[in-house]
Structure 1
Amino acid sequence: MTGYADDLALAHRLADAADAVATARFRALDLRVESKPDLTPVSDADTAVEREIRALLAAHRPGDGLLGEEYGEQPATGPDGRRWVVDPIDGTKNFVRGVPVWATLIALLEGDRPVLGLVSAPALQRRWWAARGAGAFAGPDAASGAPIRVSGVTTLADASFCYSSLTGWEEAGRLDAVLQIMRDAWRSRAYGDFYGYMLLAEGALDVMVEPELSLWDIAALVPIVTEAGGTVTDLAGRPAPAGEGSGEHSAVASNGALHDDILARLGRPAER
């Protein structure tokens, strides 16, 4: 095991606590849902999960920083400047409609680079995790995880292509490019949110792309995909997450063999 063994054990403990809170509110008749200023939904489960994680980190890693989707930034006070990044419920729209594809995302960053990631999807009875240099794993819980690996597909004609909503790609000026990739790929589906990346890490699909997302959406996914042998960059080909602050990120994730081809196909935004 690597030097992140204790951190990974803590991440699993955070996920166990998050799962208990979130599953108790999933499909609850009294679930409270409000709209944030950007008009995206937030439920009482989102805020309750983040509060639980913050309390545990305050007890076990008081010097580490923390960025959470719902309650913002808490700067690090320790000398190494480590920072946890948390999305309490990725896939809130699924959560509030009773769709079981949602998860808690937990990442640990050293500087700007994610070195640990954990994704816990209790409604799917599935969890994925990785730490730098230690490989990627998946299973129902920490005790029963098995190594995972990306696929060996080398051509788009044989590849399963996954994408986020087409409206986002239209706004990014790359809809035509995405549609052409869909035509040229063996298969295309929009699984959305964390799930496409995890299927990629397991070798079940070969490419996952998103034009815009926040740091808490991507930070936990990067170590899992890369430790499984894949590649994650932004649309410009820079190692993800690239960009400033908590927003304005993009992601192109692949099994590695297809990466240059996908980046070239996505190209530059179309002029309007």
Structure 2
Amino acid sequence: MVDPKSQWQADLDLIRDAARQAGELALGFFGNAPEVWWKNEGASPVSAADFASNDRLQSLLLAARPGYGWLSEENDDDAARLQSETVFVIDPIDGTRAFINGDKTWCVSVAVVHRGRPVAGVLVAPALGEEFWALADGAAWKNGEVIRVGGEASEAPIAIAADEALVKRFEPAFRDRVHRVRHVPSLAYRIAMVADGRLDGTVVKRNSHDWDLAAADLILERAGGRLVDLADAALIYNRKDVTREMLVAGADHALELLLPYLVEHPAG
């Protein structure tokens, strides 16, 4: 019988290599005006680089693990994944708007989800020369160094990434307790910034998807933080519905401040 820990390590090695290859492929399109289409009634862009990255990941990963399910932003969803205990959850380019606009904060996001929770995850940000990864029951890593969420700073406002309109709706007394930082288009990369301590937390608006979250969720968890819904519950993946309500990611001290406020002020 295969030891699950050795299996997840083998999976992590596999997805790191595949994500690097997909990232290198996407980087060849970056800054070169790739063809762009619009989906979701014109709300979301997708580029030739997204499709190329997705094709590379799909060919590498499913050839190596033909028994795993598949969930990717750039494939039609196949309900057969719901019968699989273990599933690849993929965003071939998280932050496509940034990619198209020449902003380097985009990444390839790949996770292995087993029985509803990620057990291996990697984010590759080739334009930044950064790679994050984590394994269930292991540490979180960035470019070969272990990372941890930031500790609580006495008296200083917490640094959060959140939509400007959302922060403007915060009551003045609460707004003084938070410092909004520049918006980062890639949700996965934004959560990674919490994992390595550059941010204390981030508020995730409604309508994020599992492929935006799964790899970053594990990286944040292994760095000492959490990604939760407004009931303070961890996310379960590989459900029929892959769309999420409002979420919060952060170190404990940020969650202790943000969660009660967002529950009490659901419109804000």
TM-score range for the pair, normalised by the shorter chain length: 0.7 to 0.9
Q: Does 1:253 align with 2:249?
A: yes
What corresponds to 2:201 in structure 1?
Answer: 207
Task: Supply the RMSD in Å over aligned alpha carbons.
Answer: 2.6
Contact 1:241–1:249 (Cα < 8 Å) also in 2 = no
Q: What displacement does 1:79 show?
A: 8.4
Tell me the distance in 1 between the aligned counterparts of 2:248 and 2:58: 30
Percent identical among aligned pairs is 30
What are the superposed Cα offsets for residues 80-137 of structure 1, whole Å, 9 maximum, x if unpaired? 6200100011110011111111001111111221222111100000010101101100
Tell me the distance in 1 between the aligned counterparts of 2:218 and 2:112: 10
Tell me the distance in 1 between the aligned counterparts of 2:240 and 2:168: 24
What are the superposed Cα offsets for residues 181-230 of structure 1, whole Å, 9 maximum, x if unpaired? 44322554323422321111111221111122011111111110010011
Unaligned runs of 5+ in 2: none
Q: Which of 40, 53, 76 pairs up with 1:37?
A: 40
80 and 196 in structure 1: CA distance in 2 versus 1, 3 angstrom threshold: closer
Tell me the distance in 2 between the aligned counterparts of 1:178 and 1:248: 25
Q: Does 1:221 align with 2:216?
A: yes
Unaligned runs of 5+ in 1: 140-144
Contact 2:70–2:81 (Cα < 8 Å) also in 1 = no
1:177-196 matches, within 5 Å, as 177=170, 181-186=174-179, 188-192=181-185, 193-196=187-190
Tell me the distance in 2 between the aligned counterparts of 1:271 and 1:95: 31
What are the superposed Cα offsets for residues 115-168 of structure 1, whole Å, 9 maximum, x if unpaired? 2211110000001010110110001xxxxx1100111116674421211x345x
What are the superposed Cα offsets for residues 236-259 of structure 1, whole Å, 9 maximum, x if unpaired? 211125785221343211111331
Give TM-score, length-normalised by structure 1: 0.86
156 and 14 in structure 1: CA distance in 2 versus 1, 3 angstrom threshold: farther
Give TM-score, length-normalised by structure 2: 0.87
Residue identity in the other structure for 1:247:
T
156 and 228 in structure 1: CA distance in 2 versus 1, 3 angstrom threshold: farther
Contact 2:157–2:177 (Cα < 8 Å) also in 1 = no
Contact 1:154–1:258 (Cα < 8 Å) also in 2 = no
1:44-123 matches, within 5 Å, as 44-74=48-78, 81-123=85-127
Tell me the distance in 1 between the aligned counterparts of 2:48 and 2:228: 33
